[in-house]
Amino acid sequence: MRLLHTMIRTGDLDRSIAFYTQVLGMSLLRRKDYPDGKFTLAFVGYDDEANHSVIELTYNWGVEHYEIGNGFGHLAIEVDDVYAACAEIRAKGGEILREAGPMNAGSTIIAFVKDPDGYPIELIGRRA
């Protein structure tokens, strides 16, 4: 068994694809419209779906906003340098929710950014 993808809903698919590809450096792996169901799916990730987990962005036609709810936590991405990643994300227009620094009660360097729909994304420094 392996984890295939995590699905999140978006109110503006093109805006979300731009964020995940241009700001976070992922690739758009595939995109397909489902006219009978009135939705579009786009898959983004750092590598192919055959061997890596990806994010499924779901756009339900005509729905521009979702409540994230209190059950969802965050997505997590490992980066080489959290401080540099935050600077790069900020320079590309991304919003930093929590600046880079040691996690609470630990030494791992983390930060949080927000995607265009408000989903929090944790950046975690690569461990040696």
> Active-site residue numbers?
122
CB 93 within 8 A of CB 23: yes
Output the six-digit token pair for 106: 């630990």
Strand ranges (E), the chain: 5-9, 27-34, 39-45, 54-60, 75-79, 95-102, 109-114, 120-125
